[in-house]
Copies of this chain bind each other. A is one copy, B any other.
Amino acid sequence: MLSERRLEVLRAIVQDYVGTEEPVGSKALTERHGLGVSPATVRNDMAVLEDEGYIAQPHTSAGRIPTDKGYRLFVDRLAGVKPLSSPERRAIQNFLEGAVDLDDVVARTVRLLAQLTRQVAVVQYPSLTRSTVRHVELLALAPARLMLVLITDTGRVEQRHVDCPAPFSDTSLADLRARLNSRVVGRRFTDVPQLVQDLPESFDLEDRGTVATVLSTLLETLVEDTEERLMIGGTANLTRFGHDFPLTIRPVLEALEEQVVLLKLLGEAQDPGMTVRIGHENLHEGLTSTSVVAVGYGSGDEAVAKLGVVGPTRMDYPGTMGAVRAVARYVGQILAES
């Protein structure tokens, strides 16, 4: 078990290292933080912390830097979430309120997060799986060609072409549209399949094929779009990563282009509250020297999607967490209003 003072030393190391980006030595520590003990004592504490795996030396005769485990302890026990200043809060709200549609909300959120945290921001579009249907629209493009448009309660719109096996009359189309909507509007996407299951049977024989095709396209859309969409921004902040960053930055940029990877990254954050994954806690190699701070957001009390930032493990955790949480809240509000 680590004594109070040793935890204090760890905290000081993390803070200094985050600030200076340089290994911190015992003497500098005692000077900058009023620890009230001599460098020699701190050195002993450091030796213990190193034994326990919380800090490490890049080389002999250099200062110490926190390990992933050290950051973990720092985040869990030594640091809180730093709330934003009220001017910052006002700025967030003002900025987000100018958004005209969902795309714009997401785009603004990304910018905002990137600017506030000076890191790479990732925002997931509201998830279809947890959304409900606001409307399904069917349009005839040609006698045997339809367009299916799906609108969610969060304002997301998806559309697909449907090639029908047989021509479909306008009256049948109106009929299908009406019946479909009466069944699914207001329902969750996950419930849709069983709700429309028996729909073809109620149509004339000649139309059944088309109805079935439309329905299967609809269901397909639901499944496909469970692969969520993302928006990222602030990649220029990666240049603040470190000095050696040709090597560091490349895999990160690559990972950021892989939606799948990012989604997993956000998705792993099961916790209803904020999730912080530090360094090697991220399974994806290439992101082992980054940390991810993510949190769910939603229009109601339930999260419909996640957002977060990706930055170097050496980041200002309290500040970042504060910004992420605040932005998530405001986005939730904005979504609820629209």
| A residues at B contact (CB < 8 Å) | 100-101, 103, 134-135, 137, 139, 141, 147, 149, 151, 155, 157-161, 224, 229, 233-236, 238-239, 243, 245-246, 249-250, 253-254, 256-257, 338
Contact = CB atoms under 8 A, between A and B. Distances in A.
Contacts of A238: 253
A234 B256 CA distance: 10
Contacts of A155: 159
In the complex, the count of this chain's copies comes to: 2
Contacts of A246: 239, 243, 245
Contacts of A245: 246
A94 to B, nearest CB: 19
Nearest to A114: B257
A249 to B, nearest CB: 6
Given A100-B224, A101-B158, A245-B246, 18 more contacts: A100-B160, A101-B160, A134-B139, A134-B141, A135-B147, A137-B137, A139-B151, A147-B151, A149-B149, A157-B157, A161-B338, A234-B257, A235-B253, A236-B254, A236-B257, A239-B246, A239-B250, A243-B246
A256 to B, nearest CB: 8
A149 B134 contact: no
A136 to B, nearest CB: 10
Contact of A149 (B157, B234, B239, B243): B157
A149 B158 CA distance: 11
A257 B235 contact: yes
Given A139-B135, A151-B149, A159-B101, A236 B224 contact: no
| Most B CB within 10 A of own CB, among A139, A155, A158, A235 | A235
A138 to B, nearest CB: 10
A239 B249 contact: yes
Given A233-B257, A239-B246, A159 B157 contact: yes
10 contacts: A137-B137, A149-B151, A157-B159, A235-B235, A235-B253, A236-B250, A236-B253, A238-B253, A239-B249, A243-B246
Contacts of A234: 257
A180 to B, nearest CB: 14
A202 B235 CA distance: 52
Nearest to A102: B159
A85 to B, nearest CB: 25
Contacts of A149: 137, 149, 151, 157
Query: Which 3 A-B pairs give the minimum distances between C-beta atoms?
Result: A236-B253, A239-B250, A236-B254
Contacts of A236: 250, 253-254, 257
Contacts of A139: 134-135, 137, 151
A243 B246 CA distance: 8
A117 to B, nearest CB: 15
Contacts of A253: 235-236, 238-239
Contacts of A224: 100
A236 B253 CA distance: 5
Contacts of A158: 101
A325 to B, nearest CB: 24
